[in-house]
């Protein structure tokens, strides 16, 4: 494979069909929502209930299969194959690469749920007696499960298939390229373009969910610092401001904008994490990390296939199935972005980097933030759980209130959320630009600005329709088609590896 040919395949130039088709659908959704907000919300929640009620088993089986498939890729005879020519080198340092994939993939969500999820599971666990040490261990296990290996396996498969197609076989950096071994000549015709249209919609809805979470958390933090109102109007204003800064980052480009912001945020996150670790019960928190990891790995097979067939679907709808659908709806965005920044890495390096490193970071994040909150509930007088139950966006601030320098650390947390917010928006816009440009890895600046603005509008409309519940419902609704598409991608990927690559 000649590296210089990367990106020269048919379909790389701007694609008006995908651009205007997606634009039309988004406009229809936005205007339909504005004309009848109640009906739009009802449709979203109906789709969510229908999908969870009938396809929760498919989500569980799919993400478990993707994890096993990812492990197979790293251990297979193709593990040495590079994502690019045989002599290609990575475009980014290991630190920059890991920072970008983590910030784009889950940064803003971890800040929101790092305290909130363990505490909410502790108060209402699916199995254990609530608010006990057993409930605390179950809470940590479930939180790591939802943000761990299964979630990142989704990104591994799609990201690897995209990077291999683009950097080694010269296909456009578009979801349809991963299916070339299956679609053949139809890859760059309407069947392939329809898949890219679904990918763009999934990305937009997945990003809208994250933007809603980020706006709610920034609003809560500003309320703690300056007693500002917590309201939908405030969150709408926050989305507008953050979208503006995301556009500025997009104009600067991938290296000057997104990479630098991602590295800055990782430093800020580590500093806040270290602050909690040092000033908290340090020995107990560190002692908890191997316990959480062992508890997670020991129960991983059972959790992977658990569908709670003899219980109500309410818990799974709110947690596990929501997460699997959310990650699947995010897969086109995160997978495309990770592929774009991963040229020159081997399949094994890619799988280990994308699968293991963020999972360990998630373990550390939940172990320190979630662990500190749960210890306070069990041994320190409590009070955090009551705040989180009323408003989960206040979770991290409720924890920081138990430490010195509360005003300062609250400000740091707000900045952390805001910059994660920006990196999610700008990297997502970058991916939408690539997909609506037919797979161009360097889409025009005006188009980046346009789609960043559209993402903000969609997040605002969904927030007005039904708050975070509507955002979650939208993500779940678009997770189902990608649940099916990504299984076909697995087949196409192994076929491409088997038929086209000669292992050493």
Average pLDDT, the chain: 86
- Dist. CA 281–CA 301, nearest whole Å: 31
* Threshold 0.75, pTM exceeds: yes
> Higher confidence at residue 29 or residue 280?
280
For the chain, how are helix, strand and coil distributed in percent, rounded to 5? 80, 0, 20
Q: What is the four-CA torsion angle of 157, 160, 162, 168, rounded to 10 degrees?
A: -150
Whether 109 has a pLDDT exceeding 80, the answer reads no
CATH of the domain at 223: 1.20.1740.10
pLDDT tens digit sequence for 406-456: 999 999 999 988 887 787 777 778 788 888 887 888 788 888 888 888 888
Better pLDDT: 367 or 358: 367
Domain residues for the domain of 495 are 3-305+313-500
* Cβ–Cβ under 8 Å, residues 102 and 363: no
pLDDT of 210 reads 74
Q: Report the domain count for the chain.
A: 1
C-alpha to C-alpha distance for 442 and 227, rounded to whole angstroms: 43
Whole-number pLDDT of residue 2: 39
Mean pLDDT of 148-163: 95
Read off the pLDDT of residues 303-329 as tens digits, 9 standing for 90 and up.
998 877 767 778 887 899 888 988 888
Asked whether residue 232 carries a pLDDT value surpassing 60, the answer given is yes
Question: In this predicted model, what pLDDT tens digit does every residue of 243-268 receive, in sequence order?
Answer: 888 888 877 766 666 677 778 888 88
Rounded CA-CA distance 461/427 in Å is 21
Question: Would you say residue 502 has pLDDT above 60?
Answer: no
Tell me: the pLDDT tens digits for 41-79? 788 888 888 887 788 899 999 999 999 999 999 999 999
- Share of residues in the chain with pLDDT > 70 (%): 92
Tens of pLDDT, residue by residue over 89-104, are 998 888 888 877 776 6
The dihedral built from the CA positions of residue 271, 273, 274 and 276, taken in this order, carries a sign that is: positive
């Amino acid at each position: 494979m000649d590296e210089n040919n990367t990106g020269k395949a048919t379909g790389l130039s701007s694609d008006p069909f995908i651009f205007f088709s997606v634009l039309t659908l988004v406009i229809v959704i936005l205007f339909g929502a504005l004309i009848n907000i109640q009906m739009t919300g009802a449709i979203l929640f109906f789709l969510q209930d229908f999908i969870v009620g009938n396809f929760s088993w498919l989500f569980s089986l799919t993400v478990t299969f993707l994890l096993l498939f990812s492990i197979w890729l790293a251990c297979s005879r193709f593990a040495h194959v590079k994502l690019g020519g045989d002599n290609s080198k990575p475009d980014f340092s290991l630190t920059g690469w890991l920072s970008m994939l983590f910030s784009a993939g889950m940064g803003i969500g971890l800040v929101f749920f790092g305290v909130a999820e363990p505490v909410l599971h502790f108060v209402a666990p699916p199995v254990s007696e609530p608010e006990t040490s057993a409930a605390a261990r179950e809470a940590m296990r479930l939180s790591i499960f939802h943000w761990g290996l299964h979630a990142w396996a989704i990104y591994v498969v799609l990201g690897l298939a995209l990077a291999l197609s683009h950097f080694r076989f010269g296909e456009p950096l578009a979801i349809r390229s991963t299916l070339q071994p299956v679609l053949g000549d139809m890859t760059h015709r309407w069947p392939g373009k329809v898949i890219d249209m679904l990918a763009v919609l999934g990305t937009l809805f997945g990003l809208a969910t994250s933007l809603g979470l980020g706006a709610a958390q920034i609003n809560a933090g500003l309320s703690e610092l300056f007693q500002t109102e917590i309201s939908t109007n405030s969150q709408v204003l926050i989305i507008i401001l953050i979208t503006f800064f995301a556009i500025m980052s997009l104009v600067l480009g991938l290296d000057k904008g997104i990479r630098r912001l991602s590295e800055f945020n990782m430093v800020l996150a580590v500093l806040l994490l270290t602050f909690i670790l040092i000033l908290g019960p340090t020995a107990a928190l560190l002692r908890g990390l191997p316990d959480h990891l062992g508890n997670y790995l020991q129960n991983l097979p059972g959790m992977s296939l658990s569908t709670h067939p003899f219980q109500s679907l309410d818990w799974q709808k709110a947690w596990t199935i929501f997460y699997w659908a959310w990650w699947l709806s995010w897969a086109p965005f995160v997978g495309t972005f990770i592929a774009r920044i991963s040229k020159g890495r081997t399949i094994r390096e890619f799988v280990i980097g994308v699968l293991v490193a963020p999972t360990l970071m998630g373990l550390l994040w939940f172990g320190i933030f979630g662990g500190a909150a749960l210890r306070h509930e069990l041994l320190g007088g409590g009070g955090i759980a009551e705040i989180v139950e009323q408003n989960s966006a206040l979770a991290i601030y409720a924890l920081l209130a138990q430490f010195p320098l509360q005003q300062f650390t609250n400000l740091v947390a707000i900045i952390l959320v805001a910059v994660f917010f920006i990196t999610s928006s700008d990297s997502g816009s970058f991916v939408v630009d690539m997909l609506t440009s037919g797979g161009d890895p360097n889409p025009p600046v005006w188009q980046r600005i346009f789609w960043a603005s559209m993402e903000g509008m969609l997040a605002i409309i969904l927030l007005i329709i039904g708050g975070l519940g509507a955002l979650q419902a939208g993500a779940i609704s678009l997770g189902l088609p990608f649940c099916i598409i990504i299984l076909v991608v697995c087949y196409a990927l192994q076929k491409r590896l088997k038929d086209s690559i000669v292992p050493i």
